[in-house]
Amino acid sequence: MYFLAPGCAPPCLALHSLAQHIERRRPAVLFTGFLGDEVWDRNARERTYQNDGIIRGDTTALMLSEIRLKSGFVNVAVPSLCARRVQDLAALSDSPEMAPWRLNTRDYDRPIPRRILEEAGIPRELFAGRKKAVVRTYTWPRNPGLRSSFFAEVRARYRLPAAFVYLHNVANRIAFWWYRGYHVTRRRLLKIEPPKTPAVLVGRRFDFAYVLFLWAARSLSERLAVVLRSRDVGPVPAYRQRAPRGGAAPAPLERSP
């Protein structure tokens, strides 16, 4: 649920076991590749981001905001470190000096990180041959206990059975591969870049990924509210007090920004 509650972007459930491992042991720093597309890739589709500056194209990294607090880790997106001028990084990737590390492939060509790894002694053929995402969209929870709770919510609020959610998912997966295959073929034959794929292609009245987010956010907030009440913890006040120095009297209350 902690992976599902922060937003509507595809959750990073591939990190579920890692989060459990960290929670059982000690706080940790997790290095991730969020923003790698916008900062490092030479794909023409990323040029818009690179020309505009560092602007996220989605909210995927936000999906770790709750689980990192629960498990105890800090998410450090390596591509964003010191990336104050992404336009300069894009120019560096296209410079003649970086030619030995360019693959000149359409979908995955990142000479800056490739140079770092190859100069560290890692052979080219062992990494980054193609892009492999670790996020995917879900329309129901994979945990059996959470799944039954979610389907009960769908029945109560939308008067729809679980079978309808399953069929809706199958229809959209089939439609996705047809839609994506058609536009990828056009790109290869006619050099026409594909449009952004809609979240729902069949039965657009129902967006169960969005319904899943609403259910998860509401369920998690109710769960945490019970914990806070049991520990006699109230809402954070609108004012905060500065910590006194050297035993001095408390400073006046300051309005939070």
Q: Are 107 and 212 members of one domain?
A: no
Q: What is the pLDDT of residue 253?
A: 42
* Predicted pLDDT at 254: 46
Q: What is the pLDDT of residue 130?
A: 77
Residue 58 is assigned to a structural domain of this protein:
yes
Residue 82 confidence (pLDDT)? 75
The Cα 11–Cα 15 span in angstroms is 9
pTM score, two decimals?
0.76
Among 136, 162, 190, which residue terminates a domain?
136
Residue 170 corresponds to which tokens in the numbers above? 């199958």
Given a contact cutoff of 8 angstroms between Cβ atoms, the answer to whether 77 and 32 are in contact is: yes
Q: Hunting for tokens 């913890």 — which residue is that?
A: 233
Statement to judge: residues 35 and 130 lie in one domain:
yes
Domain count, the chain: 2
Give Cα separations from 103 to 80, 112, 254 (angstroms): 23, 12, 55
Domain of 1?
1-136
Do residue 27 and residue 151 come from a single domain? no
* Same structural domain, 66 and 8: yes
Same domain, residue pair 3 and 17: yes
**129 with 172, same domain?**
no
Question: Is residue 165, in this structure, part of any structural domain at all?
Answer: yes
Same domain, 89 and 191: no
181 and 211, same domain (yes or no): yes
Which amino acid is present at 8? C
Long-range contacts of 149-156 (CB under 8 A, 24+ apart): 149/215, 149/219, 150/212, 150/215, 153/211, 153/215, 154/208, 154/211
State residue 257's pLDDT score: 44
Q: How high is the pLDDT of residue 241? A: 52
Q: What is the pLDDT along the chain (257 residues), one digit of tens a residue?
A: 899 998 877 888 888 999 999 999 989 999 988 888 888 888 777 777 777 776 666 777 888 999 999 999 999 988 888 777 888 888 899 999 999 999 888 778 899 999 999 999 999 888 887 777 777 888 999 999 899 999 999 999 999 999 999 999 999 999 999 999 999 899 888 888 888 888 899 999 999 999 999 999 999 999 888 888 887 766 656 555 555 555 555 444 444 44
Residues 160 and 94 grouped into a single domain: no
8 A C-beta contact, residue 241 and residue 250: yes
